[in-house]
Amino acid sequence: MRTLKSLRRRSRLWLLALAAASVVLLAALADGAGTAAAHTYYLSPSGNDHSVGTSLAHAWRTLARASRLRPRPGDRILLQGGASFAGTLRVIVAGRGNPRAPVVIGSYGPGDATIEAGGSSAVEVLDSSGVRVERLVLRGSGASTNTGSGVLVLNDLRGGVALRAIRVAGVSAEGFGFAGIAVYGAPRDGSQSGYRGVAVNDCQANANRYYGIYVNGVEDPQTSRYANAEVSIRRCSAARNEGNPDYPQKHSGNGIFMGDVDGGVISESTAHDNGALNSCEDCGPAGIWAANAHAVRIEHDESYSNRSGPGGHDGDGFDLDGGTTDCVLQYDYSHDNDGAGLMVYGYAGAPHSVDGNTIRYDISRDDGRRGGYPGILLSGNGQAVTDSAVYGNSVALTPPRGGSPAAFEAVGSVSASVRSNAFSTRGGLPLVRVLAPQPGLTFQGNDYWTAGEPALFEYGSATFGSLDAWSSATGQERGAGGPLGSSVAPEGFSGSAGSAGAGA
């Protein structure tokens, strides 16, 4: 017969076990049901939509069947590598997802699966955290007929909700009407709903209409917040995203764009041959750029042969546009673009100031092929560009078919330190063009070189034919110890003898 002491001991043990089980259960619930119940769902052209989908022998056949699933955190949806599937895969994760237990969408077996999306998006991820899209080839019907994106990640939740942990890797997307890869917030209340922790790596986004790769939120001039944070785009390429010839209201045909972001990086990526069909009447696209962003680095990238389109505007290599603060362009290579090679630009009505941006250790070669855009441009057009730093860059220009680009140009309200750069031109192109003298714009210790032609410095309403004449008249390139600027041939220069120092 059990004693009272024995019963009490067993009761305490049972209560302790129950408490421990409750802790485990509550932790699982708090973790979005954890990964213990995670499943892998397979799709194969030989599958059957009436199957359970959770094994290779019982795979589903269509994206429509997979789109009816509400995957739980930790689930995987895998398409047979080397096979093609038609339509759209739509994913809405149960409970809005869990960053620590991502849902994976990708391929299994050798090769990558292909989604032929027709006129729609290929993969849609709606209002969910914790999603990885990887190892897929996505094809739309063509930029002029498709109305979606290759990967569309959308947050339309009201109230400034921050979803987290979105990863897109090893994806190729082409032939879509908006973007190859698009991650953005578009809530109906116009709030700053968006994403924290976005990574787009090793992707190709070619032959789409408006953008190759696009990250953004709702632009609200009344807010100091950003919709997105901690965004990285690495080792990606965006080419032949040509734009919309029937859309004169706004730019189209961009390579890689990052907007409404607090903290981000675009690195080791390329953008080329974008923008050929841009038709905006007073604006244009760029190869790689950011706007309304704080602390974004664009570095170790190449942007070339980007076009302005019939509209004739921009087609820039790199751009820190309106509302960019404390952003950096560094170690980038820009060449043969219609527009400016490296640019900081302010426009009226941007939500944030254009302040504290840096252009350093970049190369611009033969940019400004159309419209007279310079190698480096600082433009306060409706919004002042303040406290910029431009140093350690190299700019070289030869004459384009039309226009007269300068190596460096400042327009509008600009304050900046321009120092230790190398500017060289041929064919009589200006070395410096400042349309109106700027009290906050200083030049110190730069090198100016021409290939035997007279040097040309355009400053306000005056034109100067030598570095000495410009410096004496304006006080630029002078310090307490005397002249600061120089005229030394760039390394490897093989043209006829010449400098910017002689003549009047």
pLDDT tens digits for 420-438? 999 999 999 999 999 888 8
Three-state secondary structure call for residue 469: helix
Rounded to whole angstroms, the Cα distance separating 323 from 57 reads 54
Q: What is the pLDDT of residue 230?
A: 98
Identify the CATH number of the domain in which residue 276 sits: 2.160.20
Q: What is the pLDDT of residue 151?
A: 98
Count, in order, helices (H) and strands (E) of the chain: 3, 38
- Return phi, psi of residue 193, to 5°: -70, 140
Residue 460 belongs to domain spanning: 422-504
CA–chain centroid gap for 297, Å, is 10
Q: What is the pLDDT of residue 109?
A: 96
Tokens linked to 10: 């067993």
**How far apart are the C-alpha atoms of 307 and 460, rounded to whole Å?**
29
pLDDT reported for residue 493: 53
Strand-pair partners of 343: 319, 377
The whole-number pLDDT of residue 453 equals 81
- Written as six digits, the tokens of 212 are 């190759």
- Which of 404, 421, 438 terminates a domain? The answer is 421
Q: What is the spatial distance between Cα 40 and Cα 281, in angstroms, rounded to a whole number?
A: 50
pLDDT confidence band for 22 (50 / 70 / 90): very low
Burial code of 354-377, b = ≥16 C-beta within 10 A, e = fewer?
Answer: bbbbbbbebbbbbbbbbbbbbbbb
On the question of pLDDT at 29 being above 80, the answer is: no
Q: Mean pLDDT lowest for which of 201-210, 224-233, 479-488? A: 479-488
Kindly state whether residues 322 and 426 are assigned to the same domain: no
Residue type, 311: G
DSSP H helices, 61-134, are 63-67
**DSSP state, residue 348:** T
Residue 7 lies in a domain: no
- Could you tell me the pLDDT band of residue 19, with boundaries at 50, 70 and 90? very low
Q: Given this model, what pLDDT does residue 500 score? A: 57
For residue 21, pLDDT beyond 70: no
Least confidently predicted of 187-196, 217-226, 396-405: 217-226
pLDDT digits (tens, 9 = 90+) for 459-472: 999 999 999 999 99
In the chain, % of residues over pLDDT 70 = 90
- The answer on pLDDT for 3 being more than 80 is no
Residue 55 lies in a domain: yes
Residues 439 and 407 in one domain: no
What does the pLDDT look like over 274-329, one tens digit per residue?
A: 999 999 988 999 999 999 999 999 999 999 999 999 988 999 999 999 999 999 99
* Digit-coded pLDDT (tens) for 437-457: 888 999 999 999 998 788 999
366 pLDDT exceeds 50? Answer: yes
Question: Which tops the pLDDT comparison, 398 or 3?
Answer: 398
* Predicted pLDDT of residue 436: 87
Judgement on whether residues 281 and 380 belong to the same structural domain of the protein: yes
Considering the domain boundaries, does residue 29 fall inside one? Answer: no
Asked if pLDDT for residue 331 goes beyond 60, the answer is: yes
Mean confidence (pLDDT) of the chain: 91
Please check whether residue 20 lies inside any domain of the structure.
Answer: no
Q: Are residues 55 and 73 in the same domain?
A: yes
C-alpha to C-alpha distance for 310 and 486, rounded to whole angstroms? 40
Which residue among 386, 421, 456 closes a domain? 421
Least trusted range by pLDDT, from 26-40, 218-232, 357-371, 469-483: 26-40
Which of 294, 296, 302 has the alpha carbon at shortest distance from 318? 302
pLDDT at residue 150, as a whole number: 98
| Total domains present in the chain | 2
Q: Kindly indicate the confidence band of residue 115, based on its pLDDT and cuts at 50, 70 and 90.
A: very high
Q: What is the pLDDT of residue 481?
A: 77
